[in-house]
Amino acid sequence: MTEIKYPLAKETINEEDVDALCKWLKSYPRLTKGQLTLQVEDKWADLIGTEYAVFNNSGSSANLLMVAAAYFCGRIANKKIVVPSVGWVTTISPAIQLGLEPIMVGADSETFGIDLEQLEEVCKREKPDAVIYVQVL
């Protein structure tokens, strides 16, 4: 078996977290858009100086919301969006779902992030309106 040098995921929830979640679910059996979520959205909006903030259930949903908002507000007029070649399918999926033209850029061999030299070349040649950068490690 090959030893994994760069784990892409690890355990982040401990027993104390599980116990707290179970206690909370027993007192409030609802997983989405509860009162606490609305309070945190309001506090977050105040903290960053915006009128509104919207929390999502996952990074995947956040990616779709981000790209859709940019597209429908006219920020991605030429329909070209740069995405990394290394990452998750949910990084490129919003572009495909919205009928945009995803342009994949290679990865840096040390960080697995977007290769900045290739990104510069692609930006000069394709003139994309957006770049989605993913921090893989």
* Residue 25 in domain: no
* Residue 62 in domain: no
- Whether the Cβ atoms of residue 113 and residue 136 lie closer than 8 Å to each other: yes
* Residue 26 in domain: no
- Give the pLDDT band (50/70/90) at residue 63: very high
- The residues, ordered by sequence, that sit 6+ positions from 104 with a Cβ below 8 Å of its Cβ are 82, 83, 84, 85, 92
* Residue 114 in domain: yes
* Residue 97 in domain: yes
* Residue 110 in domain: yes
Mean residue pLDDT of the chain comes to: 91
pLDDT at 8 over 90: no
- The residues, ordered by sequence, that sit 6+ positions from 92 with a Cβ below 8 Å of its Cβ are 83, 102, 104
Count of structural domains within the chain: 1
- pTM value is 0.76
Domain with 100 in it: 75-137
